[in-house]
């Protein structure tokens, strides 16, 4: 009986050993292939991240001068709000016109319009926009979706800033509004307030366009 069991046992390994060995080899091959694919995908993902980050840093480096200039515009335009309250404001235009007003916003508006007159902010914005478009066209394959969205937002902000600047660059129009509204009570000077708010919107657009792309994405991740 014992001999019979041994024969049956040997017979099982003889009949199924090759199948079992083949299954083990197949399983090992599958595990190796899966491990290899996983490692390859991880490496590809890591390479894509590095390529994406390098491209963003390159964009920030190439546009550094323009962003710095735009950031300086923001600082200077904000400084022009820092005036003490007065009973009467004397507003001097580049056209040797003097306007007396009791509205502080009218005075700040005049100062900002004069700063805009002597500094070609719109040209800086257009140069920045063209640089961004060219870089995006040449390097879009190296960027992931989130980075492409961020650059698109930056381009949209630049376009909005350019459009907004076109609304407030006519210095003659600005001083005409100041002159006309200076003859009205402060509470009736709606045009002054409308133009003042337009400058505030413009300054915020400048602030957004002056930010680095890397900083923007980092902030989004944190939030």
Q: What is the pLDDT along the chain (223 residues), one digit of tens a residue?
A: 544 444 444 554 455 555 666 666 666 666 656 556 665 555 555 557 888 888 889 899 999 999 999 999 999 999 988 888 888 999 887 777 889 988 999 999 999 998 988 898 999 999 999 999 998 888 888 888 888 888 999 999 999 999 999 888 888 888 889 988 888 887 778 889 999 999 999 999 999 999 998 864 444 444 4
User: 117, 200 in Cβ contact below 8 A?
Assistant: no
Q: How far apart are the C-alpha atoms of 166 and 13, rounded to whole Å?
A: 88
What pLDDT score was predicted for residue 218? 44
- Which positions ≥6 away from 94 have C-beta within 8 Å? 114, 117, 118, 171
What pLDDT score was predicted for residue 169? 81
What pLDDT score was predicted for residue 166? 87
145-168 vs 2-62: helix crossing angle, rounded to 10? 20
Q: How far apart are the C-alpha atoms of 174 and 108, rounded to whole Å?
A: 11
Backbone angles phi, psi at 99, to 5 degrees: -125, 130
Q: How many CB atoms lie within 10 A of CB 78?
A: 14
DSSP 8-state secondary structure symbol assigned to residue 98: E
Q: How far apart are the C-alpha atoms of 96 and 44, rounded to whole Å?
A: 65
What pLDDT score was predicted for residue 141? 84
Q: What is the pTM of this model?
A: 0.72
User: 196, 105 in Cβ contact below 8 A?
Assistant: yes
Helix (H) or strand (E) holding 90: strand 89-92
What pLDDT score was predicted for residue 135? 87
């Amino acid at each position: 009986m014992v001999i019979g069991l041994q024969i049956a046992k040997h017979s099982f390994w003889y009949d199924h050993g090759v199948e079992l060995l083949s299954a083990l080899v197949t399983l090992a091959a599958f595990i190796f292939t899966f491990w290899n694919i996983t490692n390859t995908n991880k490496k590809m993902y890591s390479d894509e991240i590095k390529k994406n980050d390098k491209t963003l840093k390159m964009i920030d480096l190439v546009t550094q001068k323009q962003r710095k200039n735009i950031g300086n515009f923001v600082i200077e335009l904000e400084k022009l709000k820092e005036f003490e309250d007065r009973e009467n404001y004397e507003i001097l235009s580049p056209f040797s016109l003097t306007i007396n007003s009791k509205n502080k916003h009218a005075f700040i508006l005049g100062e900002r319009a004069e700063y805009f007159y002597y500094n070609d902010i719109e040209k800086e914005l257009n140069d920045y926009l063209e640089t961004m478009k060219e870089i995006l066209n040449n390097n879009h394959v190296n960027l992931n979706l989130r980075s492409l969205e961020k650059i698109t937002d930056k381009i949209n902000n630049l376009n909005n800033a350019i459009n907004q600047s076109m609304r407030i660059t006519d210095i003659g129009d600005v001083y005409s509004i100041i002159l006309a509204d200076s003859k009205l009570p402060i509470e009736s000077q709606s045009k002054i307030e409308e133009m003042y708010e337009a400058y505030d919107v413009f300054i915020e657009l400048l602030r957004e366009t002056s930010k680095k792309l890397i900083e923007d994405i980092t902030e989004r991740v944190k939030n």
